[in-house]
Structure 1
């Protein structure tokens, strides 16, 4: 199992490296891609574990599926009516019954052990959270409240196309249609972040695929998720619980920046959120242009 884990991890690394090369050194922005069949690139350790587990289970799912297909084809051909007019009256076979009892038990154990390990990791943060943010779902936007000494709260809603120019978000590769928002949640990189999730009206769901987190936002109840983003960039998710007619227009955007950039943004956002966002965007875009130029 350890050798298989290393092999899959190496394959995942090569895939990520290839994605980085084809991205041309631009800002890392995890978002859905056309005809995508894999998970979005992992930005947290938990998401890497989820990706590994998905690849690990395929080593069981694919052979079992092929085996069942072969057995069905064999039975259809071998015992077809034209060559087997008198059906067999065999009622049982001890060897076969032992195999189809012991085999699935062994396979389920091989799946259950890493599954429980992953589940334990998801509910056991490795350290205390340094930043706590309350996310409240509304029809159809999110309220974010930073649980810090200084009050900082704002609303985040889908960005209309008519407001893109004023917000400086006309680049649809970075700020895609139906995913771009007016105010992103901003967090520092490599910082344990706790998100308290609730709702004001109906059940929503807070989901960020690249972080490997998803939890329901239930009115009158607070659910908790955590993440520690390891890569700076802009990450997109969506409400993942059918919540009304505009469910498809309720995106989630989290911008991960350096600790210095986060502190400067937080200090400015208390008094001027739009100005703080534009200043942060200018700094991030400028940094990315320098990096893309190879300097």
Structure 2
């Protein structure tokens, strides 16, 4: 399935780019936002695409003429080192915190609960991570599992799910995403299941966040990205769940309260009815933008 970027025109428009702008796209992904950005940049403009997943850089298709293009395989938490290495000061920074469709459907790392894939859930090379989803599921204690499932997944039945995982692994190691999903589905009572998502969705989210330290990386990215941003530069973030959005909102408010930034929109921008219909993943997307002063 082709990945469709969310809030594409709203996001790029909010960056207020000129042909000579330097733009950091901190989540290159499939290049959807990148192609639209490059359409607005001239030969003196610079586009930096960052992604922790090396397959994104290998597979992305971007225009070969026009602005200078720099692609970097790196976690966006290290944005400061990326711009310092290339001696750049961004006029705009964008990050889409969602996931590419192909990462779930074709990644082979256990992100999708529909596939018999190994439990990895790492953005990049599993060997560069402290632990994988397999370690979390098969080695972490019941209390630790419950805490991350409740805290990162906001799963109301975290205790039941954690207990079911621990009980199941006593019979043998849980090796695949589908096996884990079946265990979770059996643990979540039918009366407590959300109507529009798989009962394993929240637990998979929690494990993925823990494996990749997503919230810690986001906090570091916001701090280092804002520090690197040029005066009058714009910083745009698209979030998809409340944990991310809460961190972004809090950081934005801190910069505004301290007199370092201004809010460009009173409320976050969300997808209109047409986009929600054609691209269902946009339903939970929120775009927040600030300008550094």
Which structure shows the higher helix fraction?
A: 2
The structure with more radius of gyration = 1
Alignment TM-score, normalising by the size of structure 2 = 0.25
Alignment TM-score, normalising by the size of structure 1 = 0.25
